[in-house]
């Protein structure tokens, strides 16, 4: 039994030695190399965004009172002028009736003073009364006219307050939260609005770009107005990661730079026929950047040192050269567009660049060969782990 165990240990040792030799081979100088060719590229830049309706109107009562009726529910679509709430109107109805009665009284007083004044005019012409009596009658008539005007103004105010008991929607839209219920006492100074009506047929999505991006865009197009008019259609990534199925158009750029962030607020308008977008939501604006006949390299092939970028160019003698390149600031997180430093036909190392040194000689292989090599190395590593476990079990 001991002899068999010894033979098995010897066999395992030979296998471990063999695997170890193969694993050491993975430390050779083979690197994945790609020959650069120009191509068309569509990259994209994303910006955090907030979603707002064209109108987000807070609905507040113009008069104080208890809510007696609620005509809408949260999320309901309403039309401009539609009644949303009714506030207790008993007091305001009484005030309107009283104001109306005051108008009637003032009209009667005006009629009386008018007759008196006209009669005094005839008496004055016949020298029955003097100018004092005539002027007094005229003053009473003018006072009656003023009193009627004041009574009518009071009636208009009272009638308006009565109308304010019916809280209506100022625009088409969708009703938001309803923090109050029937019986609640509300006023214009209440902490919370009765609700919010949002016009969501078109949604305004706000995002920010850096001051540098705005300046570059303005210089490239010859002015901010031209830059906005020629800005490409943008997409909206929703909170669940999906892309909204309608494109948006950049419609406005703030004229003020936020000093705390160094950014400029921009607005893109999106149609919302299905009412999928909700005011107050969030997402990401996706700005596409289409370039033609450009050099595109994977970001894994680029070494960044502070604000400079480098790649390893493979020469005819298979020696690598640490080469400075300029990259386009717009990227998709996977690739860079190289603006200068590389040309079509150049060969660069695309994998394992962190282990390279300037002037190092390598053995170029294709990216497919490199992936196959990694796969074999991973399998050998797994096999060696199994043999190590077997050795531990045999030595127990």
Instruction: Output the CA torsion sign for 380, 383, 389, 394.
Output: negative
What values do phi and psi take at 269, rounded to 5? -100, 135
pLDDT of residue 386: 54
pLDDT of residue 116: 95
Highest mean pLDDT among 93-97, 303-307, 350-354: 93-97
Residue where a domain stops, chosen among 117, 142, 163: 163
| Higher pLDDT, residue 269 or 257 | 269
Domain count of the fold of the chain: 4
Is residue 319's pLDDT more than 60?
yes
Name 13's bridge partners: none
Confidence of residue 18 (pLDDT cuts 50, 70, 90): very low
Is residue 228's pLDDT more than 90?
no
pLDDT of residue 326: 93
pLDDT of residue 11: 46
Is residue 26's pLDDT more than 70?
no
User: In this structure, are 173 and 77 located in the same domain?
Assistant: yes
Residue 383 covered by a domain: no
- Residue 240 CB neighbours (<10 A): 6
**47: Cβ–Cβ under 8 A, 6 or more apart, which residues?**
207, 208, 209, 284, 285, 287
The per-residue pLDDT for range 235-249, each reduced to its tens digit, is 999 999 999 999 999
Residue 332 covered by a domain: yes
Residue 230 covered by a domain: yes
Domain residues for 144?
Answer: 90-163
**68, exposed or middle or buried, with CB in 10 Å at 0-12, 13-18, 19+?**
middle
Q: What is the CATH number of the domain that holds 178?
A: 2.40.50.100
pLDDT of residue 136: 93
Which pTM was predicted? 0.54
The per-residue pLDDT for range 203-223, each reduced to its tens digit, is 999 999 888 888 877 887 777
User: In this structure, are 76 and 107 located in the same domain?
Assistant: no
Q: What is the CATH number of the domain that holds 142?
A: 1.10.287
The per-residue pLDDT for range 70-129, each reduced to its tens digit, is 999 998 989 999 999 999 999 999 999 999 999 999 999 999 999 999 999 999 999 889
Residue 381 covered by a domain: no
User: Among residues of the chain, what percentage have pLDDT more than 90?
Assistant: 57
Residue where a domain stops, chosen among 291, 318, 345: 291
In the sheet where 166-168 sits, what is the strand order?
Answer: 166-168, 83-87, 65-70, 185-186
User: In this structure, are 326 and 357 located in the same domain?
Assistant: yes
CA-angle at 247, arms to 249 and 39, nearest 5°: 95
């Amino acid at each position: 039994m001991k002899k068999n165990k010894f033979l098995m240990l010897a066999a395992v040792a030979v296998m471990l030695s063999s695997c170890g030799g193969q694993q050491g081979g993975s430390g050779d100088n083979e690197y994945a190399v790609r020959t650069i060719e120009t191509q068309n590229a569509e990259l994209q830049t994303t910006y955090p965004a907030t979603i707002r309706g064209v109108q987000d109107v807070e609905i507040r009562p113009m008069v104080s009172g208890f809510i007696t009726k609620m005509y809408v529910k949260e999320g309901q679509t309403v039309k401009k002028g539609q009644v949303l709430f009714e506030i207790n109107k008993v007091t305001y109805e009484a005030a309107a009736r009283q104001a109306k009665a005051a108008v009637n009284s003032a009209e009667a007083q005006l009629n009386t003073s008018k007759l008196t004044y006209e009669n005094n005019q005839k008496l004055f012409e016949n020298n029955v009364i003097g100018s004092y009596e005539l002027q007094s009658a005229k003053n009473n008539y003018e006072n009656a006219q003023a009193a009627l005007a004041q009574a009518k103004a009071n009636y208009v105010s009272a009638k308006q307050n009565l109308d304010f008991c019916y809280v209506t929607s100022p625009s088409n839209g969708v009703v938001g939260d309803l923090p109050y219920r029937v019986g609640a006492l509300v006023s214009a100074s209440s902490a919370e609005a009765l609700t919010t009506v949002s016009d969501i047929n078109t949604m305004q999505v706000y995002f920010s770009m850096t001051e540098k991006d705005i300046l570059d865009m303005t210089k490239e197009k010859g002015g901010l107005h031209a830059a906005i008019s020629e800005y490409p259609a943008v997409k909206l990534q929703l909170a669940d990661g999906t892309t909204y199925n309608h494109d948006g158009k950049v419609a406005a750029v703030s004229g003020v730079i936020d000093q705390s962030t160094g950014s400029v607020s921009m607005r893109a308008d999106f149609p919302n026929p299905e009412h999928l977008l909700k005011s107050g939501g969030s997402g990401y604006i996706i700005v596409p950047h289409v370039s033609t006949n450009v050099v595109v390299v994977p970001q894994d092939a680029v070494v960044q040192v502070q604000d400079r970028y480098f790649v390893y160019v493979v020469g005819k003698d298979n020696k690598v050269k640490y080469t400075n390149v300029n990259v386009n600031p717009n990227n998709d997180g996977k690739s860079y567009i190289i603006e200068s430093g590389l040309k079509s036909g150049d060969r660069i190392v695309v994998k394992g660049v962190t282990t390279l040194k300037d002037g190092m000689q390598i053995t170029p292989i294709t990216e497919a060969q490199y992936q196959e090599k990694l796969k074999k190395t991973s399998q050998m590593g797994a096999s060696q782990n199994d043999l190590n476990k077997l050795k531990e079990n045999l030595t127990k």
